[in-house]
Amino acid sequence: MNPTSWPSSTAIIHEHLNPPKKETRVILFEELMEITKLVGDPFLKCWWDTVLCHRAVSMNGVQHHDITPSNLMYKMDGDRIRGVLIDFDLANR
């Protein structure tokens, strides 16, 4: 099964968990690409970046609750590639 086709829609999660409504939302617009398109060292580097991001928010009391392949992205920062953990709409403290 292709990881990008897994049934991991936030709508499905909301339907089953019915989390409380959030009062604050932050919307950022930046070009991000799917980490599942990468292979080899670039994939491993970006995956590790997302692990470090998850650790950082966890250590600050934030629980993501939606780690799926579709929420692991990457971006180009000049000539450097960086992994990015996205979609915190199910997160809580």
Cα–Cα distance for residue pair 29/63, rounded to 1 Å:
23
Q: 39-50: per-residue pLDDT in tens?
A: 999 999 999 999
Token pair recorded at residue 44: 């491993």
Whether residue 1 is predicted with pLDDT greater than 50 in this model: the reply is no
Domain ranges of the chain: 3-85
Cα–Cα distance for residue pair 78/62, rounded to 1 Å:
29
The closest of 89, 8, 81, 2 to 45, measured between CA atoms, is 81
| Residue 46: per-residue pLDDT | 96
pLDDT band, very low/low/confident/very high, at 11 (cuts 50, 70, 90): low
Q: 15-61: per-residue pLDDT in tens?
A: 666 655 656 666 667 789 999 999 999 999 999 999 998 998 889 88
Cα–Cα distance for residue pair 28/65, rounded to 1 Å:
20
